[in-house]
Structure formats: C-alpha cells, structure tokens
Structure 1
Amino acid sequence: MKKLLLLTILSLFLISSCNSTIEKAQKKDTFVADNYTKKEVDIAMRDGVKLHTTIYTPKDNSKKHPILMQRTPYSSAPYGEGKMKTKIGPNVHLMKELNIVVYQDVRGRWMSEGVYDNMRAYLPNKTAKQSDEVSDTYDTIDWLVKNVENNNGNVGTWGISYPGHYATISTIDAHPALKAASPQACIGDFFFDDFHHNGAFMLSYFRAISLFGTYKDTPTDSAWYSFPKMDSQDQYQFFLDKGPLKNLNEYFQYDKLDVANTEKDKNRIDDFFWKEITEHPNYDSVWQSKGIIKHLDKVPSTVATMIVGGEFDAEDLYGPLETYKAIEKHGKENYNTLVFGPWDHGKWARSTVENYVGNYYFGDSISLKFQSDIETKFFNHFLKGNGDKNSGLPEAYVFDSGKKEWKSYDVWPPKNTVKENWFLSANQELTSDKKSTEKINFISDIKHPVPYSEDIKTVFTPRKYMTDDQRFAARRPDVLVFETEVLTENFTLAGDILAKLKVATTGSAADWIVKVIDVHPADSEENNQKLQDHLKMSNYHLMVRSEVLRGRFRNSFEHPEPFIPNKKTDVNIKLQDVFHTFKKGHKVQIQVQSTWFPLIDLNPQTYVDNIYKADEKDFKTQTHSVFTDSCIEFSVLK
C-alpha cells in the first residue's frame, strides 16, 4: 500500500513538473502574440516597386518605441493574418523590452516585387528614379517613421550573414532616423566571402547556389528554388568522381532542379548565379561592382555601428573584419566598435549555454553574455538613451580563444602589437631566425587531394572544420609541417597574419593553403562531451586560422597569370585576424599544402583561362616546392 502511495505521489509530481514545463514553454512561445500586433504592408520604393514588410508593434502604447529593422533575402515569414514569429528582434531582451520590430523581404525575394540581383551593386550617383539597396533601405525607413504609430523616430538595423550585409548597406548614405546598425557576419565581397576565398571557388557551397540564382519575378510565399541532390553521403568521393567543374553545370538547369522548363539543352545554364560565377572567374567589373567595403567612406558619423563576427566563422570572416576596418579608416568621428568572439556562423544569436565550435569547447554563457551585456546595451543607448559616444562599451570586445577569456581594447588590433617573422626551416622547424635557404618538395596528386576534414559526410555549408584536429593532415606526405619547440611562455597573436611564401612548381598553376595550428600538450586531459569518439585532446592540433590563395591571383585578382615552371616565386597570403594565446607547454605549427578538397575546387595545376571550363586533360599531378626563406608574419601582442 505504501509502495502504491509513493508511486502515485511520484506520478503526480512528474505530471505536475511536466505540465509546469509545458506551461512555461507555451508562455514563452506566445510572448510575441500576447504583447505585439502584426501588420503586413507593401511599401512602394521610389521606382514604384513594392517591398513586402512585416511590422510587429507593441500593444503597450503608453510610450513611444524605437524601430529595429532587418531586411532579408531569407523570408519575413510567417505570412498571413494571425501568423506570428515566436521570437523577434536581435535577442530575447530586446524583444521583451517591447521595441517595434520590422522584417522586410528585399527586392525580388519572397513576397516582394521586382527581380533579385545577388549582391546588388550600389549606385553612388543615382537619378531620381534609379534604385539600389541603399535607396530601398532609405525609402523603407522614411515610410516607417512617418507611418508606424508610437515610434520615437529612432531606427536601428541588424542582421546576420546576408541580412548582415543589408545592415551594412543601411549605413551608407543613411536616413537621418537611422541611429544604430549592427552588421553581423556581414558579407563584404563575394570574391572573398562565402563562395570564393581569394579567387578559389568554395566547392563545398555548390548546393547553396540555387538558393540565390533561381529566377523569380512575381511575389510568392513558397520556395521557388530546389537544391541539387547528391547521390552519395561521401562528398569527397562525389566531387572527385564528378571531375572538372563544368560537369556540375547539369545541376543548375531548371529541368534538373524539378522546375518546369520545356527546353532540354544540356549545355544551358539557367541558374543566373552559377552562370555569373562560371563566366567571371576573375575579379572583374561584375564582382568589383558588388563589393561593398570600398563604399564605407559614406557612413555618416550620425550612425553608430557595432560589427560582430565569429573567430571561427567559415562563411563570413572577411566581411565583418574588413567592414570594421573600413569604417574605422574613413570615419574618424564615427562611433564604430567590434565584437569578435569564439563562434561559428551566427552562434552568438543562439540561447545555448555551452559554447562549442565543432570538437572544441570555449566556455559557458558566452553568447548569452553578449546578448544581455553588449548587444542590448548598444541598441538601448543609441535608440532609447542620449546616444552619445559614452555608451559604456569598449571599442573592441574580443575573445582570446587560447586563454578562453574576453578582453577589452581601445583600438583593434591593440596598440602594443609588433610584427614578427617566423621562418619555415628545414627539419619541420618554425624558427624566429632564417637558418638556410633550402627547397622542400612534395607531390600534389590530382587524384588524391588533401581532404579538409576526415569526416565522411555531406554538408550544406561546412562549419565544424574551422576547429578540427589537423593531425590527419599533418601525417600526409603532401602537407608540409613546421612547428616550434614546446613554448616556455605564452605567445599571443592579435591581428592579421601574412604568409610570405617562396614557392615553385613543375606546372603552370597551383593553389596554396596555409594553416596556423595550436598543438596541445601530450598530457592534456581536458576532453569534453562533444569530442568525437576517435579523438583525444592529448596532442590535439587545433586549427586557429587558415586560408587559400589561388596562385594565379598572387599579383592581381583582376589579371591572373601563370607560374613559370620551376621558377622561384613569391606568393603572399593574408590570413584574417586572430586573437589567440598559444599557452606555455603548447607548440605553434604551420601547415602548407596545395589542395583542400572538396572545401575548394581542384586546381588543374596547368594554367587555363577559366577553371570552370577546364577539361579532364588539363588536370595534371605536379611537384611543388616551398623554400625555407619563406616566413609567416605574425602580429604578436607584447
């Protein structure tokens, strides 16, 4: 009887706890519906095109509220009366503080009119009826402050990734009502972000092409694009078997994407983004016109900016760093700050407590702290407060990914950094002095390229590899390894890295990849629950930073040129900023290789004018050489 009574009490307790949890979840999920009204409007731009805009207005009309706006190519759904998002705004704090929150489908996407242009070019000298994303943003803000009730006249913009690009756009020739903008993981230039890195095509992103390149000219609330299907779970073998890039053209014809089309020309490319990529292999006027970094001299001092980026963001690392630096360079009077944390793409907007990137653990509540103490404070100060430059926030709030701690600086990179050259010496040594000039050879076998990950999988966009253990690569004969002795004191890098390689090849073309790696001590026992089963932190080779340069672009991204076979040649590769302490007992390692597959496409290793049109016969195995007067220029914090 006692047992039955105990079981009954326990059951009632569990049911009560479960109901309480459900009630809390339901309460959380209905916060927006309980506290906001939603209105969908189509706002006419100066050229007559109407952009679909969703406005969430607080039911509390006892005071005026600022407007927080995100413009996006990824849909402002859910569409329709009574259908509401369960989370709005940059974070839960700003949502619960009852700001007016606006989402807009950009021109040509989803429910907006017009035709979409990927990274639509900015027109500095527009006529009265000409439009671009700058004018679309201006016209939208103008309508909002004049037509949305109970707004206080102050507008802030934010967005992550592509929406981050539109947040950057909002700052150029900005509307007077725009007081604060936070471009986050913002695309700066598609020749250096996302789909290309220094001219090398990011093959691992090929399935995302149709998301941006499938034509549409009428509003729709349903997806009009379809993703190519891979008949394999092994992406390395899939792309290796496909061969030259031109063999992927079939995946970008409408009939192959389950889109109705009566034509059956197998050589036709219907996807306009894929066509743009394949027809413009160099940094020509098409790509140059779309890049936004060079226009950031037009950000007025009336707009405060907070640029946010992830130190291990595989998609958009170039964009936020170059955006911050460009505004800093041109806007001496601007309030411009940088937040640079231990995140992959957009992870700072998530609510998870434990902060992992792939196998690597950086700490707890890192994203939550950013949302509450940095992001919310920034928007409140400039949209609700007096908006002066005394925001209480640092100029640069950056995370030391080696020590796993935040630091604040008055300028980025910090003032007390010096440039140091470390040489790629013989016997796999990385030394602070040049010991000799020798040649180290390796064979770059076109049939057995170096994988970027040892995982057997297919991914839509790769992220985990940014902190992957690089032991699998270090043990290949076509990867050159150089490392220091065990460090006797901490060694902190703060800023960009420049690999100054001296190389040669038996061919006329080659890619060059440089990786900076933190080799952990053999006696390390700091394993974590997300570490893959086959790994240990003992001797873990943490990739701190990596980058590729398509060798043809070593002197100019606009005007490529072949290598002269067997001639010693300078190849300089800029690796984006890091803030990382190699701790005492660790080692600094550099890896140099020529393939990174299928993260980037295969270089034929014989020069052709357009790699996207190369034939099978153009691909040849070559012998590459790295000379020991090559060095890595570090920005070292003293």
Structure 2
Amino acid sequence: MKKYLLLLFLGFSILFSCTNSSSEDKTTVAKKDTFVTDNYTKKEVDIVMRDGVKLHTTIYSPKDKSETYPILMQRTPYSSRPYGEGKMKTRIGPNQHLMKDKYIVVYQDVRGRWMSEGVYDNMRAYIPNKKENEADEVSDTYDTIDWLVKNVENNNGKVGTWGISYPGHYATISTIDAHPALKAASPQACIGDFFFDDFHHNGAFLLSYFRAISLFGTYKDTPTDTAWYSFPKMNTQDQYQFFLDKGPLKNLNEFFRYDKLDVSATQKKNQIDDFFWKEIVEHPNYDEVWQSKGIIQHMDKVPSSVATMIVGGWFDAEDLYGPLETYKGIEKQGKDNYNTMVFGPWDHGKWARTGVKNSVGNYYFGDSISLKYQSEVETKFFHHFLKGKGDKNSGLPEAYVYDSGKKEWSSYDSWPPKNVVKQDWFLSENQELTTDKKSPKGIQFISDVKRPVPYSEDIKTVFTPRKYMTDDQRFAARRPDVLVFETDVLTEDFTLAGDIMAKLKVATTGTAADWIVKVIDVHPSDTKENNDKLQDHLKMSNYHLMVRSEVMRGRFRNSFSKPEPFTPNRKTAVNIKLQDVFHTFKKGHKLQIQVQSTWFPLIDLNPQTYVDNIYKADEKDFKTQTHTVFTDSSIEFSVLK
C-alpha cells in the first residue's frame, strides 16, 4: 500500500502537478499510451559521482538512429519510476510536442532518494569552493551531464534541463557552475529559499503543509523502489478544528517520531525523529542553516552560455517567490544572459496539464491557456536552443505574462514593464482606500487566539492548499477581526504590474503578532459573468477575488535573523512585500485591501506573547490581544501607465 502513497498525496511532485484531471486529459493519455514504447528505448544506469555515490538514472532514447538528438534531463526527489526492464512511462519530457519531436529524455533520482545511493538533504546547501571529491547537487548535475554526453549514443552534445516544483529547483541548480554542454534550462515553480517558499512565508510556518514534512524528512540510506515514508493521519475532515484542538506546535511532535510511523525497525533504531521537522523546530530564525540552503543568492554563477526560461503561476500557493526571485536574480547578475519569464493564470504546475479549461479553484480564466504555452512557448524555447541556432533571437518575448483581470496575454521587453510607476494608497477610516493621506487615527480589532480567522470557508483537509489563492474573500470581510479598505467603484481600468509593498503602522497590547495583507478584486454586483467552476453556495455577483496575499511574522519586521518583540501599545512600522501581480481591476470593479492578524490553519497560530521559539511555546503563552492599524498606513502599488 505504501508503494502507492506517492501518487495519492504527493502535492509537491511533478507527477502530481501533471496528473490529468479532466475527461479530455484521460482521452488524450489513452491515445498516447503506446507512443513512448513504439518510438523510444529505455535504459537504466547508475552514474558514479565524484565522491563515489551512484545516482540511478533512466534514459529514454529515440529508436531512430539516423540522426543525433539533444538531451532533456529532469532530476527529481519524487522517483524516476517505473523501474525495471520493459516498464516505461506513457509520457516523457516537458510536453507531448517535445516528446514527439524526439529528444533523449533523462530522469534521475537525486542523491539519497529512491534508487539512488547516499543520504538526502532537503535543499542541500551549495558548496562554492569544493575540495577534492566534495559533492553537492551542483556537482552531481555536472557529473551526470558529463557522463551523458560522453556515453549516450546519438546525442548532439547539447543538454537542456527542466522541472516543476522541487525538480524545478534542480533545474536552477543545473545552471550554477554549469557544464559546457548545458545550453537551456527551464526552472518552473522552482524553490528559491526555504524561509520564504513552501514551508515558510516571511518566517511564518505554513501549518497547512505539515503532512508533507515526512515526505522530505524520513531517513533512508539504501536504494529502494518502494516508499519508505508515511504521512500523518488526521482522522477528521475539519483541519481547522484539528489544529485548533492540537494547540501549540510542539504538540505536533508526536507525528514525527518514527515509533509512531509505519517505517522499518532499522529506521526506528537509526533515527529517532524526522530530520526535516527537527530542522524546522530547532531553527526558527533565518540563520546559517536556512541561508546556506538558498539558491537565489548564487545567480551570479549562471554563465551566459546557458539560456533560461523561468515559468510560474500567478496563483501558485507553493512556489511563487522562487521563480520570481530566480528570474530577477539572473537579470540583476547576468547582464549578458538570455533570460525570460512566463507567468500565467495557474496554480502549482498546471501549465503542464493537457485539459482545455483553465481555472484555479472557483475562478475560470479561459480555454487552452496551458496548451498554448506548451506548443507555442515551451517547445519553441527548447527547440531553438537545443536543435536550432541557439542565439538570442528565439522569437520569444523577455516577459510573457497573463493579465489575470483582463484575461489576456501580454509581451514586454522587461519585467516589470518600463512604464510602471509607484503609487501609495492609504488605509482610511470608514473602510476607504484613497490616494489622500489623512490625519493618523487608530482602528482597533481583537485578535482572539481561540477564534482565528480561517484562510478558507471550506470544511475539509488538504495535503497542500491551492484553491484558496482565488477564493471568494467575502467570508473574511464580514468578520470583525478583519479590517477592510476599498476604493469607490472604478471609472476606468487600473492595472497593477509588479510587486506590492504594504507599509503598515501598527500597535498591539501584546509583544508579538502576525500581520496579513490581502489585495482583492471586488466584482460588480450586477455582473453578467458566469462560471460553472463555482462552488454551489457562491455567485459571481460581488465576488471578492483574492489577487495577492502575504504574511509577515511581526518578530522579523526588522531582521529575519534577529527577531525582536513589540513594545506593547507602541506604534511600530511593519513592511510586507507582496509578490508581483499582473492584474487589471476593470472599470466597474473595486480594489479592496484586507488586513488581519491570523490566517488559520494556513499559517501556525502566533502566541501573541513573545517567546524565543514559537515551535516550543506552551499553552499559557497564547493570549488574546487587541491590535491597532493606523490610518497613515499605506499600500505601495506598481501601476502600469
């Protein structure tokens, strides 16, 4: 049974990202079941790294030997299955067009995962100046490419890498100190820094991801083709109540002790606790452990010989920070690099799916958006750099971005676009969002640790939450502990293109607090818009579409590595950077800002009393407090003119 848990629950996996969910998808896959077996051969090899560790690698090569082919490679912690002679994937490569266009497609289990040797390290730190036989993911990638171009028949000496989510991170890794044969890389939904991606947002722990911890932190040191980890069982369909009843984070420790999990006796003996959970608990601040695992700090080591195309989704709940910061890092550090970005109306990895209808949660964006990307952008990128001229005249724009308000694509020669200006909008009394700064007054609300604001009105449990990114926010706007500020009805279109900075002025009766800011598109009450993706209890009339949101753990307001308490009742500045958007608030709509202090159980509950380590806080540390937001607080928008 454990063997199949990956496919059921693997929310971070490329396999999950590409799972077909519509009837069109199933029909498409059925028609292509024999294409790979008809046109490719499969070979499994163990490639020896410079330190002697063997990495299991699966190579799909075109049967037609009349020409040479580029190599497309994905390195993954999620298994290069199926294993064994005669067992083949039904779909290989980034998309079906590239699969049919014939490439040598390679999958590799990274160090310490599945059939590869070694011990896994979650986001293994890059070693800039390696000693002899010293290895990291960068050297593993280099050594693998070196072996492939020297040993795989009929390759043309050019290599490309791609991947979504964690495999996207390994695609980024491939560009660092890159092998000369690497010509193109497409990191997609790539992790950039674990203190700001996936399990943390600005230092706040994403409690809703806790069931995925064991996927990355269960110890193994021998190759296996069977899942060696298991997931915590909640035994409820109400995750909000589950976590509320559990109380402090330290009460979750029981789920990450091997004597509580279905693992082997050897694992119980060799490792007491889940090493990833232990890492999170023992390193609550942005210390040298997290800093060393970040990869976006090393974009200066991407050579100009490697073309990059960074891909992400505007509504990706897991990895939005990573791809944006990866693109910006390469732009800043590599002035001569070919570096492009593609961002569409997708959640995590949905651009790799083959369904016609494109929606995120309740919100429908249009038809064939992912299919168009695959055929007209992704295929074109790899073809040009691996089979074509390989110069900078690829025919693709610098930034190919989807306006999630107008529901249309735009192309720009820079991101953000050059004609963007910064505008400050102020949080005013009477729920107003205005361009006029008023005399500062305080607006108070009570943050009750027994009744935190939910991130979704759905009653359910999820492995990794995604739908909430476009959820209707009316349920939150109607709570007394959520402050609402909005414009009048817009008389003309208003387009945001770039990042958003919330510049809050706040106070609290306690010594600790979280601050959450949400940017919302309020649809007209008389809208004629129809959407068959809506949950039954919702209507598009007055729909509150969440466009962007972010949390700041208040203790990190001045430094992520040196937290500090609030002084009770003292007015304090808290700045929150919200990731980039490209969204037009259309004429007849309203732009709304929501400010709150809990977002449960998306993020863990702040005690609202300062403790050195929230993961070790006691029940007595959690106290209800009164918070104040002052009306000289503002939101700095990047406005397209």
Shorter-chain TM-score range = over 0.9
Cα offset for 1:529?
1.1
1:152 aligns with 2:156: yes
Aligned to 1:16: none
What letter matches 1:611 in structure 2? I
Q: Where do residues 261-340 of structure 1 align in structure 2 (5 Å cutoff)?
A: 261=265, 270-340=273-343
Q: Distance in 2 between matches of 1:263 and 1:202?
A: 27
Q: Which amino acid aligns with 2:192?
A: G
- How far apart in 1 are the matches of 2:359 and 2:268? 47
* Shift, 1:23, TM fit: 10
The one of 352, 369, 380 equivalent to 2:355 is: 352
CA contact (8 A) 1:269 1:275 kept: no
| Alignment of 1:478 onto 2:452 | no
In 1, distance between residues paired with 2:561 and 2:329? 21
Q: Show the 5 A alignment for 1:451-466.
A: 451-466=454-469
CA contact (8 A) 2:60 2:106 kept: yes
CA distance in structure 2 between the aligned counterparts of 1:69 and 1:356, rounded to whole angstroms = 29
**Which residue does the alignment assign to 2:106?**
102
Q: Tell me if structure 2 keeps the 8 A contact 1:425–1:436.
A: no
8 Å CA contact retained: 2:258, 2:267: no
Q: Which amino acid aligns with 1:133?
A: E
Name the residue aligned to 2:377: 374
1:435, CA displacement in angstroms?
A: 1.8
Counterpart of 2:56?
52
Count how many residue pairs are aligned between Structure 1 and Structure 2: 616
For residue 29 of structure 1, give the secondary structure of its aligned residue in structure 2.
coil
Kindly indicate whether residue 405 of structure 2 is the aligned counterpart of residue 402 of structure 1: yes
Aligned-residue offset at 1:128:
2.0
Match of 2:592 among 589, 594, 602: 589
1:262 to 1:212, Cα distance in 2 relative to 1, 3 A: closer
One-letter identity of the residue aligned with 2:221: D
Q: What's the CA shift for 1:527?
A: 2.2
Matched-pair contact (CA < 8 Å) for 1:69–1:102 = yes
Q: What displacement does 1:118 show?
A: 0.4
Alignment-derived partner of residue 64 in structure 1: 68
Letter in 2 for 1:154: K
Instruction: Give the corresponding residue for 1:244.
Output: 248
- Maintained 8 Å contact 1:159/1:182: yes
Q: Is the 8 A contact 1:422 1:431 kept in 2?
A: yes
Which of 164, 181, 193 pairs up with 1:177? Answer: 181
Q: Are 2:75 and 2:107, in contact at CA under 8 Å, matched by a contact in 1?
A: yes
Q: TM (normalized to structure 1)?
A: 0.95
2:227 is the alignment partner of 1:223: yes
Report the counterpart of residue 8 of structure 1 in structure 2: none
Deviations 1:201-238 (A, max 9, x none): 00000000000000000000000000000011000000
SS in 1 for 2:32: helix
Q: Which amino acid aligns with 1:100?
A: I
**Alignment deviations for residues 462-493 of structure 1 (CA, whole Å, 9 cap, x no partner):** 00000000000000000000000000000000
Paired position in structure 1 for 2:495: 492
Question: What is the distance in 2 between the residues matched to 1:444 and 1:527?
Answer: 36
Query: Which of residues 631, 634, 637 in structure 1 aligns to 2:634?
Result: 631
How far has the Cα of 1:260 moved from its partner? 3.7
Deviations 1:108-154 (A, max 9, x none): 00000000000000000001210000000000000000000000000
Distance 1:328 1:485, change over 3 A: same
Change (3 A) 1:510 1:407: same
Query: Is 1:505 matched with 2:508?
Result: yes
Q: Distance in 1 between matches of 2:232 and 2:86?
A: 34
CA distance in 1, matches of 2:313, 2:248: 33
- For 2:414, which of 411, 414, 418 is the aligned residue? 411
Q: 1:200 pairs with 188, 200, 204, which one?
A: 204
- Could you list the per-position Cα deviations for residues 220-274 of structure 1 after superposition, in whole angstroms to 9, with x for gaps in the alignment? 0000000000011000000000000000000001121112449999xx9510000
Structure 1 counterpart of 2:529, from 526, 529, 533? 526
Superposed displacement of residue 521, structure 1: 0.2
Determine helix, strand or coil for the equivalent of 1:495: strand
Aligned to 1:18: none
1:93 aligned onto 2:97: yes
What is the rounded CA distance, in whole Å, between the counterparts of 2:459 and 2:126 in structure 1? 41
Question: SS of the counterpart of 1:140?
Answer: helix
Task: Classify the secondary structure of the residue corresponding to 2:388.
Answer: coil
Alpha-carbon contact 1:120-1:290 (below 8 Å) kept = yes
1:574 matched to which residue of 2? 577
Q: 2:624 aligns with which of 621, 624, 633?
A: 621
Partner of 1:557: 560
1:526 Cα deviation after fit: 1.2
Q: How far is the alpha carbon of 1:27 from its aligned partner? A: 4.5
In 2: Cα distance, 1:264 partner to 1:160 partner: 32
Q: CA RMSD in A?
A: 1.4
Specify the SS of the correspondent of 1:435.
coil
Unpaired stretches in structure 2, ≥5 consecutive residues:
1-24
Does the CA contact (< 8 Å) of 2:522 and 2:543 recur in 1?
A: yes
Q: 1:610 aligns with which of 598, 608, 613?
A: 613
Unaligned runs of 5+ in 1: 1-20
TM-score normalised to the size of structure 2?
0.95
Indicate if the aligned counterparts of 1:118 and 1:273 stay in contact, CA closer than 8 A. yes
CA distance in 2, matches of 1:144, 1:524: 57
Q: Which residue of 1 aligns with 2:215?
A: 211
2:154 is aligned with 1:168: no
Distance in 2 (alpha carbons) for counterparts of 1:502 and 1:224 = 48
The percent of aligned pairs where both chains have the same amino acid is 86
1: CA distance, partners of 2:531 / 2:510: 45
Cα pair 1:519 1:587 within 8 Å, conserved? yes
Alignment check: 8 A CA contact 1:203 1:600 kept: yes
Give 1:202's aligned amino acid. L
**Counterparts of 1:345 and 1:422 in 2: how far apart (Å)?**
31
Correspondence for 1:138 among 142, 146, 153:
142
Matched residue, 1:3: none
Shift of residue 530, structure 1, vs aligned partner: 1.1
Deviation of the 1:573 alpha carbon: 0.1
The aligned counterpart of 2:548 is 545
After the TM superposition, which residues 68-87 of structure 1 pair with which residues of structure 2 at under 5 Å, given as runs? 68-87=72-91
Q: Is the 8 A contact 2:258 2:268 kept in 1?
A: no
Offset of 1:519 from its aligned partner?
0.2
Q: What amino acid is the match of 2:189?
A: A
Q: Provide the C-alpha distance between the structure 2 equivalents of 1:466 and 1:80, rounded to a whole number of angstroms.
A: 40
In 1: Cα distance, 2:28 partner to 2:153 partner: 31
**Greater alpha carbon shift after TM alignment, 473-482 vs 526-535:** 526-535
Cα deviation code 1:472-524 (max 9, x no counterpart)? 00000000000000000000000000000000000000000000000000001
Residues in 1 aligned to 2:439 and 2:555: alpha-carbon distance in whole angstroms: 28
State the alpha-carbon separation in 2 of the partners of residues 145 and 315 from structure 1. 34
* Superposed CA offset, 1:319-344 (max 9, x none): 00000000000000000000010000
What is the rounded CA distance, in whole Å, between the counterparts of 2:568 and 2:369 in structure 1?
50
Q: Distance in 2 between matches of 1:393 and 1:228?
A: 45
**Structure 1 residue 26 displacement after superposition:** 5.0
